[in-house]
Amino acid sequence: MTLRAEYAFDLPVAPKEAFAWLSDPARDPEWQSACVDTRLLNGAARPGCRYEITFQLIGKKMTFTVEITEFEPGRRSRFHVVDGPFGYTGTYDYTERADGTTGVHWTFDVEPGDFFGIMPKSLLKKVLVSQVKKDSGKLAERLAQPAHHRS
């Protein structure tokens, strides 16, 4: 069974800068609180790039090998699991707002199988959306700072 979680949020930067933050796996630990570590396996982020990512979520540590399948700067990024405890596909779609900021639509299709035990799928979806809501809010606050304070 596939579960879809989605959330829309705004970032106070142009789409190319939003894309640079959200679509580079090496930056995930900087803004995703559940992300423990990432390691690029075959070069910089681009279509076909694979990376290893480790999360700590709901008391479980999980490591996945993920491949970037779409990488259109300022427009769209998409990735999917090639190896891990369960499968997922994630997408970020970017829209430039009239004021130059970026609207981001995040979707996450996950096939958790029995990994989370008897946890209801509706609770898992709520946890995923809550995490992205919190992390994207912190990233928006960070990006609202002058550029020399962001790094």
If the chain, 151 residues long, is cut into consecutive pieces of 10 residues, what is the mean pLDDT of each piece? 94 96 95 96 95 91 97 97 95 97 97 84 91 96 79 58
Separation of alpha carbons 36 and 99, rounded Å: 34
Q: For residue 129, what is the enclosing H or E element?
A: helix 121-143
- CATH of range 3-145; options 3.40.630.30, 3.40.640.10, 3.30.530.20, 1.10.10.10: 3.30.530.20
pLDDT at position 14, please? 96
d(C-alpha 19, C-alpha 76), whole Å: 8
Quick one: pLDDT at residue 95?
Answer: 98
Q: Note the pTM of the prediction, 2 decimals.
A: 0.92
- Where do the structural domains in the chain lie, given as residue ranges? 3-145
Strand partners, 85: none
